[in-house]
Amino acid sequence: MGEPLTVALAMAAHLPPRLFPPPLDDRLRAVASIQLDRVLTSFDSALADVDVLITGWGCPMIDEAVLADAPGLRAVIHAAGSVKAHVGPAVFDRGIVVSSAATANARPVAEYTLAMILLANKEILSMAQRYRAERRPIHAIDEYPAVGNLGRTVGIIGASLVGRHVLRLLAPFDLHPLLADPYLTAADAAELGAELVELPELFRRSDVVSVHAPALPETRGMIDATLLAMLPDGATLINTARGSLIDEGALMAHLRTGRISAILDVTEPEPPAADSPLWDLPNVLLTPHAAGAVGTELARLGATAVDELTRFAAGEPLAFPVDPARLAVMA
């Protein structure tokens, strides 16, 4: 394999021990000359001899000025999802290869989504709140005759990495998945185990709608008052993508009626303003952008980065390269 690569970490200072716990740190040191206790939160001449940057959440932007001080930089390996916030066009222009652990981060988001879909179809949120408030037996069979996960329809918006993983996780259940994605054909959707439909039909037919589209200028506010009005009474909207995709004012109007429910891991702003009704509405479950990798799941991102670095050191193709031509439509 030759001399170890000179590798630097660029991310929030608290992340490396969580991304690279033993024995991952040993694997990293085996292929790299690296100081795991030295983390770059800003760039300076320390990049002069660096071959590879392993980046994470909190990495500063890598632009022309940074690259001018990094003549030997050949790869950026991101131990997280989207690279848009820190990889500038100059990186790709210089031929530096970029990798992302977005596939690894998609898994916990999809697992969160599956859990919420199954709970939403059983109306567990409202049932649990009633149980706590009334402190009496709740006869679920008699009082909730329409709930359950048999034969319900789930609408997935976006065949992203997360959206596709959600569809795989839904496969063993007796649910009917719908999929809306402008880049797919009906045959593509069928291969994913879903029925391809347009957004209005998805909203009209779904008991649960889960959002997995990228945040782009053209997707801002795409889930608007017209679509929300099409949701059946009792439906649930789940958002683990970005808050900007939903017209929050329109959503609030429907939530205030109690006609639908929402499970929101992301909002705009994030967190919601302290006086936002989202905090207090009984038909809203707010979680603190926790669907992605947290806790022990961070090591999966670190393992992906170490695997990529090992491939790069051996002169092998990366498993998860970022295609600059697709950046514009990626999350």
270 CB-near residues (< 8 Å, 6+ apart): 243, 289
Q: In this structure, are 33 and 19 located in the same domain?
A: yes
Q: In this structure, are 274 and 312 located in the same domain?
A: no
Range of the domain at 27: 5-100+295-329
Q: In this structure, are 162 and 54 located in the same domain?
A: no
Q: In this structure, are 181 and 137 located in the same domain?
A: yes
Q: In this structure, are 255 and 138 located in the same domain?
A: yes
Residue 95 pLDDT: 97
Secondary structure (3-state) at 78: strand
CATH of the domain at 45: 3.40.50.720
User: Do residues 108 and 287 touch, judged by C-beta distance below 8 A?
Assistant: no
Residue 325 pLDDT: 85
Residue 3 pLDDT: 77
Q: In this structure, are 143 and 209 located in the same domain?
A: yes
User: Do residues 86 and 66 touch, judged by C-beta distance below 8 A?
Assistant: no
Q: In this structure, are 151 and 282 located in the same domain?
A: yes
Q: In this structure, are 68 and 47 located in the same domain?
A: yes
Strand locations in 11-127 (E): 32-33, 39-40, 52-55, 75-78, 97-100
User: Do residues 64 and 285 touch, judged by C-beta distance below 8 A?
Assistant: no
Going from the C-alpha of 121 to that of each of 174, 180, 197, 286, the distances in angstroms are 12, 20, 21, 17
**What single DSSP character describes residue 173?**
S
CA distance 89 to 121: 44
Residue 44 pLDDT: 76
Residue 2 pLDDT: 63
pTM, rounded to two decimals: 0.95
Residue 25 pLDDT: 95
Cβ burial of 296 (10 Å; 0-12, 13-18, 19+) is exposed
Residue 331 pLDDT: 65
Cβ burial of 306 (10 Å; 0-12, 13-18, 19+) is buried
Catalytic residue list: 242, 270, 289
Nearest alpha carbon to residue 203 among 182, 185, 186, 222 = 222
Q: In this structure, are 22 and 43 located in the same domain?
A: yes
Q: In this structure, are 169 and 60 located in the same domain?
A: no
**How many residues are recorded in the chain?**
331
Element (H, E) at 124: helix 124-134
Q: In this structure, are 89 and 127 located in the same domain?
A: no
Total domains in the fold of the chain: 2
Divide the 331 residues of the chain into consecutive groups of 10 and give the mean pLDDT of each group.
85 97 96 92 87 97 95 97 94 97 98 98 94 95 96 98 98 98 97 98 98 95 98 98 97 97 98 96 97 98 98 97 83 65
Q: In this structure, are 182 and 310 located in the same domain?
A: no
Residue 330 pLDDT: 72
Q: Determine the longest span between alpha carbons in the chain, in angstroms.
A: 70
The total of other beta-carbon atoms located within 10 Å of residue 159's CB is 23
Peptide bond into 269 cis (omega under 30): yes
Calculate ∠ Cα 148-151-153, nearest 5°: 95
Task: Mark residue 221 as left, alpha or beta (left: phi above 0; alpha: psi -120 to 50; beta: remaining).
Answer: left
